Amino acid sequence: AKAYLDAMEKARGLNAYVLETPEEALAMAAASDARLSKGEGGVLEGVPLGIKDLFATEGVRTTACSRIIDNFKPPYESTVTSRLWRDGAVMLGKLNNDEFAMGSSNETSAFGPVVSPWLPPNWDAGQARERLAKARADGATPRGFLVPGGSSGGSAAAVAARLCPGATGTDTGGSIRQPAAFTGIAGIKPTYGRCSRWGIVAFASSLDQAGPFAATVRDCAVLLKSMAGHDPKDTTSMDLPVPDYEAAIGRSVKGMVIGIPREYRVDGMAEEIGALWQKGIDWLRDAGATIREINLPHTKYALPAYYIVAPAEASSNLARYDGVRYGERVGGRDIVEMYEKTRAAGFGSEVKRRILIGTYVLSAGYYDAYYVRAQKIRTLIKRDFEEAYASGVDAILTPATPSAAFGIGEKAGADPVEMYLNDVFTVTVNMAGLPGIAVPAGLSSEGLPLGLQLIGRAFDEETLFTLGHAVE
Ligand code: GLN
């Protein structure tokens, strides 16, 4: 824990942590030492972790990286984090993310952008360090540096920079898999219902899932085993046994059938992403898997439908931030003016955009045309996957992202759809409620990490760990 706290101090320029908790870390580590010296201890005894600031941590500031809940100290602990502590893990601090997990680059955080530890091509490390220190000292945006992806950008940057050996994330449309791919690490979004959502700040409740980030697929397997499982406090969490995921590492992939969906060869996909995909196909074929081309015909509707369903649920979930129950209140002449001023000051522009879209698609007159239609599309997407699995496919291999990481400031601001397009390969999985893992699979011609995604059957994360380990 001490070594990681030191590393965190040296790497503050990355802005991966929004809160460091050295006192908690050292106390928890000492308690771990005491248990270990008595021959006791859980599977994560003494393992230091970073926690996305979307997870409620008892007595420790939790903000969702929004101004509107900027000084909330929850009187309770999220189920997922309490299970990690139960197994002996040690909390290093809270990690940066896009505000309310809305974003793909960690640029919407009220705490400012996270910098990826990967440098742009041909940058000198020493000069980069100075440049970053100067930008941070001036309070300026560190332009030119790369984004770590989002929304769990702090989690991905922290693991990639070895500021923690593992971290929690949440994934509503790709927020674990896309940042994992951008930073060259592994991350899994489990099946919807595998992890409890209790105590996690809600974005889009029918899509949100928690999951781990780590340098390797094996470490993700160990972390997920601890995080997962039924919780009576979340009625959507499933009462199913949690398998020993680590036992799936190293199993043979011989005879497994891997689906390659034609529809994922989208326009605008970088050439080297196509080449990486082919490499992944070759690796699995060489390892004894059978490769089969499949169709997922409704794929092209997934992104537009996601950007109706997710904002609709967000607009409803975010109604609770009204200046009465949480956060900073800005006063007004009457209660309506107080709501307006509080929400105008407390939410950032991407969050406001989502609330407006969500309110619009849910309003009388538009509800059937947009929201109901998007829900129907969602069913069709789910059926596409079900048909593929019913035909004998064990898992589906796709790229995790359509490109490598881009620069800070490069896609933010201009056209929001530019940013949303990052999620084309990941949102389908949330719409269908399936598990998906991103594994580091190589470097681009410019030396930046690229990731592959494996999509599994519902509640079959084990196959993803077996295949992910074979590919990484
Ligand atoms: N980038 C997507 C969005 O902005 C997904 C975010 C997430 O998974 N939390 O909605």
Q: Is residue 170 part of a domain?
A: yes
Residue nearest to atom 5 of ligand 1 (CA): 173
State the pTM of this model: 0.98
- Name the residue of 95, 102, 349, 351 whose CB sits within 8 Å of the most ligand 1 atoms, as the mutation to test its pocket: 102
Q: Would you state the pLDDT for residue 343?
A: 96
- Name the residue of 96, 172, 317 whose CB sits within 8 Å of the most ligand 1 atoms, as the mutation to test its pocket: 172
Give the CATH number of the domain where residue 115 resides: 3.90.1300.10
Rounded Cα distance between 450 and 343, Å, is: 38
pLDDT digits (tens, 9 = 90+) for 162-193: 999 999 999 999 999 999 999 999 999 999 99
Domain containing 139 equals 2-246
Produce one character per residue of 405-437: b if its CB has 16 or more CB atoms within 10 Å, e if not.
bbbbbbbbeeebeebbbbbbbbbbbbbbbbbbb
Q: How far, in Å, from the CA of 101 to the mean position of ligand 1?
A: 6
Around ligand 1, the residues with Cβ closer than 6 Å are 101-104, 151, 171-175, 203, 310, 423
pLDDT at 414 over 90: no
Selected catalytic residue, list 151, 226, 237, 403: 151
β-pairing, 48-52 vs 166-171, is parallel
Structural domains counted in the chain: 1
Q: How far from chain centre, in Å, is Cα 154?
A: 10
38 is catalytic: no
Q: Is residue 417 part of a domain?
A: no
Q: How far, in Å, from the CA of 416 to the mean position of ligand 1?
A: 12
Q: Is residue 378 part of a domain?
A: no
pLDDT at 413 over 80: no
pLDDT digits (tens, 9 = 90+) for 22-68: 999 999 999 999 999 999 999 999 999 999 999 999 999 999 999 99
Q: How far, in Å, from the CA of 253 to the mean position of ligand 1?
A: 31
Q: How far, in Å, from the CA of 45 to the mean position of ligand 1?
A: 32
Q: Is residue 404 part of a domain?
A: no
Q: Is residue 360 part of a domain?
A: no
CA distances from residue 362 to 309, 310, 370 in whole angstroms, order as listed: 10, 12, 8
Give the least confident one: 30-44, 147-161, 225-239, 257-271: 257-271
Number of H helices, E strands in the chain: 15, 11
Q: Is residue 282 part of a domain?
A: no
β-pairing, 436-443 vs 166-171, is unpaired
Q: Is residue 321 part of a domain?
A: no
pLDDT digits (tens, 9 = 90+) for 346-376: 999 999 999 999 999 999 999 999 999 999 9
- Helix ranges (H only) for 38-118 are 79-86
Give the least confident one: 121-125, 265-269, 373-377: 265-269
151 is catalytic: yes
Give the least confident one: 238-242, 266-270, 354-358, 402-406: 266-270
pLDDT at 125 over 90: yes
Q: Is residue 173 part of a domain?
A: yes
Q: How far from chain centre, in Å, is Cα 423?
A: 12
Average predicted confidence (pLDDT) for the chain: 96
Given the CA of residue 152, which atom of ligand 1 is nearest to it?
Answer: 9
pLDDT at 267 over 80: no
Q: Would you state the pLDDT for residue 263?
A: 95
β-pairing, 209-214 vs 290-294, is unpaired
**Reported ipTM:** 0.97
Q: Would you state the pLDDT for residue 3?
A: 98
CA distances from residue 418 to 204, 317, 410, 413, 421 in whole angstroms, order as listed: 21, 25, 10, 10, 5
Given the CA of residue 350, which atom of ligand 1 is nearest to it?
Answer: 4
Q: How far, in Å, from the CA of 105 to the mean position of ligand 1?
A: 10
